[in-house]
């Protein structure tokens, strides 16, 4: 009985040993497969680590590029803002200068209008002076009476030292002595204008061009003395009168003025007005150029903003890629941990199976 029991125990031990060897073989095969999978996983992890480093380098470069673009954008924006402030200041100065120039031009136009009106009044008065000659001419005075009255005048009254026309009072007194009509003042005017045919303010037969455009000269005009004499008088003779001024010396024949005397102040005012108009046009052109430059700067600023926005979008995409890879790496690490735990459990089972096998062999040897 003991031998049968021993044989049965031996057979059971052999069966257990065969089962243990089979289990050990399966465990080894599974361990090899797990090692191969672990090796593949390690290679994948290494590849992912390499990709992670590459992506981190790209992310660092993109961040540096974004920082550089942001700094360039900030610098450019500050420069554009400063230039915009300078342009606004220049625009305000130009606007103020333009307003001052327009006000000055309006004032000059008003003064010009006033001068033209004053000139027209002077012309009207001078023409009215000429028309007053025909008002009342007494023909009761004979030629002998006129000549005797003129002869009664002394040299000082006929040819005044201060370049004045003959004394009217002396002529009237002479007419009184010759029993002329002392109250007729127009006769004296007629004789005076007949001999000299010019007065201080009388200008007739003015050209249409001169009448339409007249310049006023504020310089002091000194007239040449005009005298009368009693012999060889040609009443209808044209008398040349020389007008002395500070800029020109025009000649007028019998008050037939062909060109008006030039007004220096008006010429200066016209030149200054033309200069102001040129300055205004130049300032407007400069303002238009500045506005075009400002538009270009704003366009460049928009382009820089678009570049920065594109860089931010690209950084967001790269960040999403990095996050996805990080999640995959975490999953691989978890799977590796599970594989390690399975390998450890298989190693424990192998050790226990080897221990059981060794124990069975020892028992058999003991028997």
Residues 260 and 319 reside in one and the same domain: no
* Contact yes or no for 217/264 (Cβ under 8 A): yes
Using pLDDT thresholds of 50, 70 and 90, give the confidence band for residue 169.
low
Q: Is the pLDDT of residue 75 over 70?
A: yes
What's the Cα-to-Cα distance from 325 to each of 36, 38, 202, 283, rounded to whole Å? 23, 19, 109, 62
Q: What is the pLDDT of residue 198?
A: 42
The residues pairing with 244 across neighbouring beta strands, listed in sequence order, are 222
Q: Is the pLDDT of residue 287 over 70?
A: yes
Residues 167 and 253 reside in one and the same domain: yes
Q: Which two tokens stand for residue 191?
A: 């004789």
pLDDT tens track for 177-223:
554 444 444 455 555 555 554 444 444 444 444 444 444 444 444 44
- Residue where a domain stops, chosen among 230, 250, 265: 265
Q: What is the pLDDT of residue 172?
A: 59
Q: What is the pLDDT of residue 180?
A: 44
Worst-scoring range by mean pLDDT, 60-74, 120-134, 286-300? 120-134
Residues 206 and 132 reside in one and the same domain: yes
Residue found by looking up tokens 């010759």 in the block: 178
Coil/strand/helix, residue 300 = helix
- The number of folded domains in the chain is 2
Q: How far apart are CA 95 and CA 33, in angstroms?
A: 88
pLDDT tens track for 332-356:
778 778 877 887 777 787 777 777 7
Domain for residue 328, yes or no? yes
Using pLDDT thresholds of 50, 70 and 90, give the confidence band for residue 298.
confident
pTM exceeds cut of 0.75: no
Residues 133 and 86 reside in one and the same domain: no
Q: What is the pLDDT of residue 329?
A: 80
Domain for residue 65, yes or no? yes
Q: How far apart are CA 340 and CA 35, in angstroms?
A: 10
Domain for residue 106, yes or no? no
Domain for residue 146, yes or no? yes
Residues 50 and 85 reside in one and the same domain: yes
Pairing of strands 240-244, 222-223: antiparallel
Using pLDDT thresholds of 50, 70 and 90, give the confidence band for residue 135.
very low
Q: How far apart are CA 178 and CA 298, in angstroms?
A: 98
Residues 146 and 237 reside in one and the same domain: yes
Q: What is the pLDDT of residue 149?
A: 61
Residues 304 and 253 reside in one and the same domain: no
Worst-scoring range by mean pLDDT, 135-149, 168-182, 242-256, 275-289? 242-256
Average confidence (pLDDT) over 147-163: 52
Q: Among 278, 236, 267, which residue's Cα sits nearest to residue 254?
A: 236
Residues 190 and 296 reside in one and the same domain: no
Q: What is the pLDDT of residue 128?
A: 65
* Contact yes or no for 238/261 (Cβ under 8 A): no
- Residue where a domain stops, chosen among 230, 265, 300: 265
Q: Is the pLDDT of residue 243 over 50?
A: no
Q: Of the ranges 25-34, 262-271, 355-364, which is most confident? A: 25-34
Q: What is the pLDDT of residue 262?
A: 55
Using pLDDT thresholds of 50, 70 and 90, give the confidence band for residue 118.
confident
Domain for residue 272, yes or no? no
Q: What is the pLDDT of residue 86?
A: 85
What angle, rounded to 10 degrees, do the helices at 264-366 and 2-131 form? 180
pLDDT tens track for 36-72:
888 888 888 888 888 888 888 888 888 888 888 888 8
CATH number where 41 lies: 1.10.287.1490
Q: Which domain holds residue 310?
A: 2-91+291-366
* Contact yes or no for 45/311 (Cβ under 8 A): no
Average confidence (pLDDT) over 91-109: 84
Q: What is the pLDDT of residue 363?
A: 66
Residues 248 and 177 reside in one and the same domain: yes
Q: Which two tokens stand for residue 325?
A: 């890879």
Mention every residue, 6+ apart, whose C-beta is less than 8 A from residue 77.
301
Q: How far apart are CA 115 and CA 213, in angstroms?
A: 12
Domain for residue 16, yes or no? yes
Q: Which two tokens stand for residue 59?
A: 């992310």
Average confidence (pLDDT) over 222-238: 45
Q: What is the pLDDT of residue 255?
A: 45
Residues 129 and 243 reside in one and the same domain: yes
Mean pLDDT of the chain: 68
Domain for residue 342, yes or no? yes
Q: What is the pLDDT of residue 204?
A: 42
- Residue where a domain stops, chosen among 265, 299, 322: 265
Residues 162 and 227 reside in one and the same domain: yes
Q: What is the pLDDT of residue 185?
A: 45
Q: How far is CA 138 from the centre of its chain?
A: 76
Q: What is the pLDDT of residue 203?
A: 41
Residues 215 and 254 reside in one and the same domain: yes
Q: Of the ranges 147-156, 245-254, 332-341, which is most confident? A: 332-341
Domain for residue 206, yes or no? yes
Q: Which two tokens stand for residue 57?
A: 């380098």
Q: What is the pLDDT of residue 142?
A: 59
């Amino acid at each position: 009985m003991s031998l049968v029991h021993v044989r049965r125990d031996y057979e059971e031990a052999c069966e257990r040993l065969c089962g243990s060897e089979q289990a050990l073989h399966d465990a080894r095969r599974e361990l090899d497969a797990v090692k191969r999978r672990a090796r593949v996983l390690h290679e994948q992890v290494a590849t992912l680590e390499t990709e992670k480093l590459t992506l981190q380098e790209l992310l660092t470069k993109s961040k540096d590029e974004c920082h550089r673009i942001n700094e360039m954008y900030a610098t450019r924006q500050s420069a554009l803002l400063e230039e915009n402030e300078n342009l606004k200041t220049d625009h305000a100065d130009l606007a103020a200068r333009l307003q001052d120039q327009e006000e000055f031009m309006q004032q000059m136009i008003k003064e010009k209008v006033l001068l033209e009106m004053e000139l027209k009044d002077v012309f009207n008065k001078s023409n009215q002076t000429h028309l007053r000659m025909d008002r009342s001419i007494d023909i009761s005075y004979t030629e002998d009476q006129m000549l005797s009255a003129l002869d009664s005048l002394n040299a000082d009254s006929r040819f005044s030292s201060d370049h004045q026309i003959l004394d009217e009072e002396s002529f009237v007194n002479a007419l009184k002595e010759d029993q002329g009509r002392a109250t007729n003042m127009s006769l004296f005017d007629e004789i005076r204008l007949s001999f000299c045919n010019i007065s201080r303010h009388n200008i007739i037969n003015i050209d249409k061009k001169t009448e339409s455009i007249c310049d006023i000269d504020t310089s002091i005009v000194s007239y040449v003395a005009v005298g009368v004499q009693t012999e060889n008088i040609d009443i209808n003779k044209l008398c040349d009168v020389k007008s002395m001024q500070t800029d020109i010396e025009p000649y007028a024949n019998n008050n037939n003025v062909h060109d008006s005397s030039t007004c220096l102040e008006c010429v200066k005012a016209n030149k200054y007005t033309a200069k102001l108009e040129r300055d205004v046009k130049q300032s407007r052109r400069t303002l238009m150029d500045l506005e075009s430059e400002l538009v270009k700067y704003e366009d460049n600023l928009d382009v820089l903003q678009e570049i920065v926005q594109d860089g931010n979008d690209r950084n967001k995409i790269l960040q999403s890629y990095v996050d996805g890879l990080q999640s995959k790496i975490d999953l691989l690490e978890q799977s590796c941990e599970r594989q390690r735990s399975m390998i450890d459990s298989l190693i424990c089972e192998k050790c226990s199976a080897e221990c059981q096998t060794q124990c069975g062999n020892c028992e058999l040897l003991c028997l």
